[in-house]
Amino acid sequence: MLTDLLKPELVACHVEASDWEEAIRACGKLLVDAGKCDQSYVDAMISSVHKFGPYMVLEEGIAMPHAQADGNVSEAGICIVTLDPAVAFGHEDFDPVHVLVGICAPDPKAHLGCLAELSQMFEDEDCIAKLSACDTPEQVLETMRSFF
């Protein structure tokens, strides 16, 4: 399911971001450009961090930007952004972030299958290093397929 949603145009490697907001904007741009959501969804992802803190930093080095859809998501989407250099999100235990996995879904339950697959992927201790080492979207997709 996860690799079915992820296409090369939804992957960006070695993105430079000055801070976590710029990192989330880079992630959101991929989803917007692919027609998965509109800009207000990206703004909501950023607002969520301002409101709730860096809750979307899930493990060491990885964050999953997302927000509650409010009519601004047209279809389920997932994107991957690797950051170079890594960016601090303000998480006490898991900063800095090297990889962003952006998700959007028209309803809260639509992405649960993807979350289960992502948790399987994160069981590999070298997951972040492997994804960060990729230079092309195709390499990221190939690496992700190797986890399943």
CA dihedral 137→120→24→54, nearest 10 degrees, is -160
pLDDT of res. 1: 57
Query: Based on C-alpha coordinates, what's the Rg of the chain?
Result: 14
Spatial contact of 35 and 5, defined as CB atoms under 8 Å apart: no
pLDDT of res. 144: 86
Helix (H), strand (E), coil (C) string for the chain = CHHHHCCHHHEEEEECCCCHHHHHHHHHHHHHHCCCECHHHHHHHHHHHHHHCCCCEEECCEECCCCCCCCCECCCEEEEEEEEEEECCCCCCCCCEEEEEEEECCCCCCCHHHHHHHHHHCCCCCHHHHHHCCCCHHHHHHHHHHCC
Compute mean pLDDT per 10 residues along the chain, 148 residues long, and list them.
81 98 98 97 97 92 92 93 97 96 83 71 87 96 86
Catalytic choice (14, 50, 66, 98): 66
In 3D space, the residue among 57, 125, 48 whose CA is nearest the CA of residue 92 turns out to be: 57
In 3D space, the residue among 35, 120, 126, 43 whose CA is nearest the CA of residue 77 turns out to be: 35
66 belongs to the catalytic site: yes
pLDDT of res. 86: 97
DSSP-assigned beta bridge partners for residue 15: 83
Count other Cβ atoms within 10 Å, centred on residue 47.
Answer: 12
Q: What is the pTM of this model?
A: 0.92
pLDDT of res. 112: 63
Measured distance CA(90)–CA(121) in Å, rounded: 24
